[in-house]
Structure 1
């Protein structure tokens, strides 16, 4: 009897881990982290970010933001907020690879990258023009960017990949969630019936 209980608990834990892993396999999967989008904007599309490459302005900005713990920080001009948001949609982004919640922009963006040392001193400010890689989650029924991923090789979109928020990917992931949930429910029902 104890063996059976342990077996059910083991499979329950295994299924819970599988569900957690599946939740980030595709762009635009549901997230309960409602503040993730605002944190992304604060860190990467900030209205107060300097518009120049002046190192002194960036030093004051980074110090004010209190983000000295991030050695490399990238900032997209605030007037690009809408096109950045659209990267997480079919109109602006493609899924980056088959096992990722990343979307790659369909166009290159100009942005500023700031290098900060461990003493919170801005060492370099450089302009960049690259395709953006963003992690996208569904937050309150909207697919929104939640993480900026460096694109060192400036990898662009692959036209063979689905658009971000591809219904097939979403349906496939939802189907896996449903099947795993039903299996967990079956195991728990069997256990309950066994002990009654």
Structure 2
């Protein structure tokens, strides 16, 4: 019985450790997900986007190009790709929190809210806001891997560090991981 309890506790600690490692604690650290940038581009910077806010056009576009399973989607114009990538640099972005950077300039994009799983469109909005992006290092470049909503229309803090500031490059120690492994070691000793 003790072995079963130990196994359960060890599995829980490993799962918790995996969750804490899913996101870096600062921008421009090594990515733990090698396909993050490609997925970001596939979801948010697509070609052939509708040029209007017509519900039928967007429903057809999302149905034919994937995304019915996502209740909120934001789409940037493909011509903005270089500007979007620059958000993950000193020249285009400032640190926001965790591994997030915020653009120094606002971007224009379309946000589509839909009924999850049905491709039914609830709302289409043309927005102009500062982008908040998770930025991580892939192949020695700091690149966007996640589009974070900016519901409160946050703006960059001019006193914040740039996103690729030398002080935040590399891989910082992860206190949460250390703490969880310490907890699991204590539990192992307790149940041994």
Output the TM-score relative to the length of structure 2. Answer: 0.76
**What is the distance in 2 between the residues matched to 1:23 and 1:51?**
34
Give the paired residue count.
Answer: 164
Secondary structure of 1:96's match? Answer: strand
Whether the 8 Å contact between 2:28 and 2:142 is mirrored in structure 1 is: yes
The ranges of structure 1 where at least 4 consecutive aligned residues each deviate by more than 6 angstroms after the TM superposition are none
Partner of 1:63: 63
Query: Quick check: 46-55 or 155-164, which moved more?
Result: 46-55
Task: Flag the structure with higher helix content.
Answer: 1
Task: Give per-residue Cα distances to partners, 1:111-140, cap 9 Å, x unaligned.
Answer: 001111132211221100000000011011
Q: Given the alignment of the two structures, is residue 39 of structure 1 paired with residue 36 of structure 2, yes or no? A: no
Partner of 1:81: 81
Partner of 2:190: none
**What is the distance in 2 between the residues matched to 1:75 and 1:31?**
23
Secondary structure of 2:80's match? Answer: helix
Whether the 8 Å contact between 1:23 and 1:30 is mirrored in structure 2 is: no
Partner of 1:155: 154
Partner of 1:120: 119
Whether the 8 Å contact between 2:29 and 2:168 is mirrored in structure 1 is: no
Whether the 8 Å contact between 2:28 and 2:137 is mirrored in structure 1 is: yes
Uncovered stretches (5+) of structure 1, i.e. residues with no partner: 1-9, 182-196
Distance change (3 Å), C-alpha of 1:60 and 1:22: closer
Output the TM-score relative to the length of structure 1. Answer: 0.75
**What is the distance in 2 between the residues matched to 1:23 and 1:44?**
20
| Structure (1 or 2) with the larger CA radius of gyration | 1
Uncovered stretches (5+) of structure 2, i.e. residues with no partner: 1-9, 179-192
The Cα RMSD (Å) is 2.7
Deviation at 1:22, TM superposition (A): 9.8
